Structure 1
Amino acid sequence: MEYRRLGASGLVVPALSLGTGTFGGRGPLFANWGATDAREARRLLDIAIDAGLTMFDSADVYSDGASEEVLGQAIKGRRDQVLISTKAGLPTGDGPLDAGTSRARLTTAVDAALRRLGTDHIDLFQLHAFDAGTPVEEVLATLDDLVRAGKIRYTGVSNFAGWELMKSLDAADRHGRTRYVANQVYYSLIGRDYEWELMPLGRDQGVGALVWSPLGWGRLTGRIRRGTPLPADSRLHATADYGPPVDEELLYDVVDVLDALAEETGRTVPQIAINWLLRRPTVSSVIIGARNEEQLRQNLDAVGWELTPEQVARLDAVSTREAPYPYFPYRRQEGFARLNPPMAG
């Protein structure tokens, strides 16, 4: 396993983390992802920890809290060997205190997560979404109190726009509050929007990326190809509307190149897609998923080797799409690019 610092923090994390969205199996979305119970989860953690993957990511909305409960049971007796990352902020009910990141909600959410996880601290706590109704100063003060109380150790965000993250970082600096060190983002060969603004922001401000859905919401598994129907057992039949939009022609073009590289390298399509992400700027860890041991072992083999520069260039070329304003001049015109060069891999 490779290890990296999380952003500009002192926290060292594995290059691969394991997402626990498949744990629990409750609700219309997560029931289609998987229903891993505590016994199965413990076996997956055995394999992961043996391979050096020691960070596990969850959220209070994953299977209505069951994901955190199963993870908590799976880590019993080895809490000091693992890093726990979880999130809160999205609605968990219809009540006024069941959503958002107010002081009342965050305090309650963290205590509830600690109970479900069976631990006294969360290594990385992230806001699952930006709450426009709560002042960022209130959010930061609450998180700072939770850090000082020892309930959480590092903080981060997920699904924030660039201005929302920068506003929060500026407020943290002005008021001397705990600073976000992680940004959990969607990023894949068929979804490279992260590169336009959030990636440069992360490099400038020392915020490391934790990548969710590195296989494009299950589209880069090697089972979807041009001219063939979606496999009957694909979870995309039930979950496609929950995930990021994808241009089908882009998908097929990328898969064509991935297939060719798989033949050249002897690696699988998912391994190549994940390996490409591991070499991108600001990426601290890529969150992989696994419904069974076979999937986990295959994804673990995405580390420990590198594509050649020529192979990376082919993936870059096929997956690149024209950036929107105000980003496109800096990629298209030499004068703009001299002032603000695009970030390289």
Structure 2
Amino acid sequence: MLIRRPDDIPPSEIADPAVYRARRRFMTQAGGLALATALPAARAAPASLGPLTASPLSTAEPATSRRAVTGYNNFYELGTDKADPAENAFRLRPAPWTVRVEGLVNKPRSFTIEELLKLAPLEERIYRMRCVEGWSMVIPWVGFPLASLLRQVDPQGSAKYVEFVSHYDKATMTRGVLDWPYLEGLRLDEARHPLTLLAVGLFGEVLPVQNGAPIRLVVPWKYGFKGGKSIVAIRLVEKQPVTTWMKAGPSEYGFYANVNPEVDHPRWSQATERRIGEFTKRRTLMFNGYAEQVASLYGGLDLRRNF
């Protein structure tokens, strides 16, 4: 398993974008990245998403620096080191793009990104985000509720879960490590919850590739691996999906992945976390601090068995 513990994350590992861009230019010129000349480059300057609605669902906590949010990422399709996704962003072309919505719906269809952006007003939502390895950030996402998309396709009564499929290109992206493509899932009521977001940007700009461009899932009361990146398909199904990390480590990663300080990872405690940019640990909050909004979803559910 290639996950690192929070004590192994020095601030020096948070790559400065200028550094990784210079490194990539050097490697390209030296012939170290043969694919660089054959693949489209990542966006050099993120485009503004225009006027945004400030969401009342936002936390009042200050956002983590843009440098950390865009330079310290988990996106294994682009590499397993935290700096790899930003360095390898050129391997994924975020446009043109479509998202298929299929399965147990009465109105299956494919949406372009342009069509998705018209479904609901874009909001900026500043969410606490917690990673299973013990580190956390506060990120100003831009997006719209997943529920807005689900209403467009009219889920059938037999639909109980939503499965998310991420883009994968074996010719240009990481091989091995996990069983690709990356799959994630939510219960339908979780997917419809007002906090659940389809993000298309951050810091008021178009989503960078390393953060999951052009569209990704954000579920702030769950560990970060639940947020599938670069989504190409959304399927409504009757049975609980078997997600990528459940297949990779069933004793370590469950379907729910709710932030719960009382349930340790087999190899480390989840009771504390380290906010990127801080040197002291803080107490982990139940449901990542969103208990008031989401605890009712899990009434009667054993959260130790359903981890």
Which TM-score tier does this pair reach, normalised by the shorter chain?
A: under 0.3
Instruction: Report 1 or 2 for greater relative contact order, CA contacts < 8 Å, sequence distance ≥ 6.
Output: 2
Q: What is the TM-score when the length of structure 1 is the normalising length?
A: 0.23
| Structure number with higher helix proportion | 1
Q: What is the TM-score when the length of structure 2 is the normalising length?
A: 0.25
